[in-house]
């Protein structure tokens, strides 16, 4: 009697790469490189050390390590030990990190063995523990956490936790299986045509779902993973130079970074002949800037990838160089093996405008809350037997059969009797030639009452001129109550526009200069 096939595992991608490409570079950062054989050997040693420290299959292990070769080693070692890897944001305040630890049911934390700042944060997460991390090797240490955690008995193949903000503002642990990540990575490597000759530039935080392609796509293909130093992220000109000197051939980032590279980083005159795949996700890409990129890098393939953390990428659109921005930018069609539907309020598939619902092998297992798993249970009609995730994004089908975003349910506000989508305001303002980027936010002054505030980065415009242009471009009922010209928009740690910070900074009292009747 034959045995059933072994379940897929992310760490086995590394083992296979070490067997097939032992001497090829696996990861490089800060002038240091490990081959696949070296990476695999060190991961095995660390996994043994984790087991000796008490880590068991199914345990959730936090990775509280700066983005580095050591962080890559830590993630793979946790997976090799059979535990679940949970990368943590070092920039998060200790209280927020502690909430992540409790929600995910993390019972061990990996931290740098000699990093006082990280060690202090880890100790605070560990309910005030005073012990230093126990050395693991490779400059890493491990610290047990006294945290209640229910066994993951209903989470077959659980391997990864990523965090996303919940409605309360506190992070929710998104539990992903090995297969969730593998399905996306296999599709992406095949679609992008990634080979051992490629160098994948990794700019995303390891806490962000974009990083799963970088980390595991490189191992699946035998390509080299090149880590962008964190200190360069705020300097777009240095990022462009890094792309050139590191000979990056595949790059996946949020549109905000591409915009900075275009306007402040010298991308217009950059010589990047090896850059053959330019992928983006996480937020809408202003069409004028995207068109400029397709003109600048005519030999590259451009991909618009869409999907929340809970599904990773579920749709894609290859942006042709002949694309006309006036046609709008679609999110395309579902990736292979994934079902994407627009559904009405009864969760029935519709050809009209509806909420984007996703089911299939990339959809997460459920949320981790207070150490317990809350499985996904939503179904859509017709029911294919698998749970579906309702994204909160609204879309409609174009004449080409592709899906076009229409905004978010939670970005729709009601003001003076009109229902307004804040993304509609942004898309119109973004088309003004002087505007580089913008964000519209809602500030509530009382239940059901509030103001629309627009922040814009624009060239050669005063606030008065911008208000005139915005008033001419939008219907009267959609014109923002207040407009601010700023040098840059606040960004989250993941490089996306920080709408919560902008809304918090916006005035809530009406001002005569901003009021519109």
pLDDT band at 158 (very low <50, low <70, confident <90, very high): very high
The DSSP-derived string for 265-316 is S-GGG---TT--EEEE-SSPPPHHHHHHHHHH-TTSEEEEEE--TTTS--EE
pLDDT band at 397 (very low <50, low <70, confident <90, very high): very high
Q: Could you tell me which residues come within 8 angstroms of residue 265 by beta carbon, excluding any fewer than 6 positions away?
A: 236, 237, 238, 239, 240
Do the Cβ atoms of 93 and 113 come closer than 8 Å?
A: no
**The listed CATH number (3.30.1130.10, 3.40.50.12170, 3.30.70.240, 3.30.300.30) that belongs to domain 416-505:** 3.30.300.30
- Could you state, in order of their start, the residue ranges of all structural domains in the chain? 11-177, 416-505
Rounded to the nearest integer, the mean pLDDT of the chain is 88
Comparing 179-183, 326-330, 331-335, 408-412, the range with the smallest average pLDDT is 408-412
Higher pLDDT, 270 or 133: 270
pLDDT at residue number 116? 62
Total-model pTM: 0.84
- Counting residues of the chain whose pLDDT is more than 90, the rounded percentage is 63
DSSP conformational letter for 381 = B
pLDDT band at 5 (very low <50, low <70, confident <90, very high): low
pLDDT band at 184 (very low <50, low <70, confident <90, very high): very high
pLDDT at residue number 456? 96
Q: Is the peptide bond before 382 cis (omega within 30 degrees of 0)?
A: yes
11-177: CATH class? alpha beta
């Amino acid at each position: 009697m034959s045995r059933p096939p072994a379940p897929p595992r992310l760490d086995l991608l590394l083992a296979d790469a070490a067997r097939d490409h032992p001497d090829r570079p696996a990861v490089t950062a800060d002038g240091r490189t490990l081959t696949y054989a070296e990476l695999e050997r060190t991961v095995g040693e660390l996994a043994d050390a984790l087991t000796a420290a008490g880590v068991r299959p199914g345990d959730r292990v936090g990775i509280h390590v700066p983005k580095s070769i050591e962080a890559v080693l830590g993630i793979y070692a946790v997976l090799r030990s059979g535990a679940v890897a949970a990368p943590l944001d070092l920039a998060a305040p200790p209280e927020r990190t502690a909430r992540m630890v409790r929600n995910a049911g993390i019972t061990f934390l990996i931290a740098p063995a000699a990093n006082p700042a990280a060690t202090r944060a880890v100790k605070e997460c560990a309910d005030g523990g005073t012990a230093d991390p126990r050395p693991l090797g490779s400059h890493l240490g491990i610290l047990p956490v006294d945290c209640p955690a229910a066994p993951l008995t209903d989470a077959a193949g659980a391997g990864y936790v990523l965090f996303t903000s919940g409605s309360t503002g506190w992070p929710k642990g998104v539990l992903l299986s090995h297969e969730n990540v593998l399905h996306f990575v296999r599709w992406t490597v095949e679609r992008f045509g990634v080979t051992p000759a490629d160098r994948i530039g990794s700019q995303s935080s390891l806490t962000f779902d974009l990083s799963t392609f970088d980390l595991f796509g490189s191992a699946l293909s035998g390509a080299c993973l090149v880590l962008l130093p964190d200190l360069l992220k705020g300097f777009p000109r240095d990022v462009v130079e890094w792309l050139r000197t590191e000979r990056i051939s595949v790059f996946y980032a949020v549109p905000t970074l591409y915009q900075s590279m275009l306007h402040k980083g010298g991308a217009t005159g950059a010589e990047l002949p090896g850059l053959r795949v330019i992928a983006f996700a996480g937020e809408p890409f202003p069409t004028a800037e995207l068109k400029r990129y397709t003109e600048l890098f005519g030999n590259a393939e451009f991909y618009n990838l869409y999907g929340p953390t809970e599904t990773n990428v579920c749709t894609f659109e290859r942006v042709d160089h002949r694309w006309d921005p006036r046609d709008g930018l679609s999110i395309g069609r579902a990736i292979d093996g994934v079902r994407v539907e627009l559904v009405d309020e009864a969760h029935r598939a519709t050809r009209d405008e509806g909420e984007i619902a996703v089911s299939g092998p990339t959809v997460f297992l459920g949320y981790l809350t207070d150490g317990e798993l809350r499985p996904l249970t939503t179904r859509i009609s017709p029911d294919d037997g698998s749970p579906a995730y309702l994204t909160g994004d609204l879309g409609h089908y174009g004449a080409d059969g592709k899906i076009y975003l229409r905004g978010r349910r939670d970005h729709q506000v009601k003001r003076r009797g009109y229902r307004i989508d804040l993304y509609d305001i942004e898309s119109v303002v973004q088309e003004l030639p002087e505007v580089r980027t913008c964000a519209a936010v809602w500030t509530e002054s009382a239940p059901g009452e509030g103001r629309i505030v627009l922040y814009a980065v624009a060239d050669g415009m005063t606030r008065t001129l911008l208000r005139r242009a915005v008033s001419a471009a939008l219907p009267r009922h959609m014109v923002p109550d207040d407009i601010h010209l700023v040098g840059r928009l606040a960004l989250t740690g993941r490089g996306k526009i920080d709408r919560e910070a902008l809304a918090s900074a916006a005035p809530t009292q009406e001002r005569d200069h901003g009021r519109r009747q």
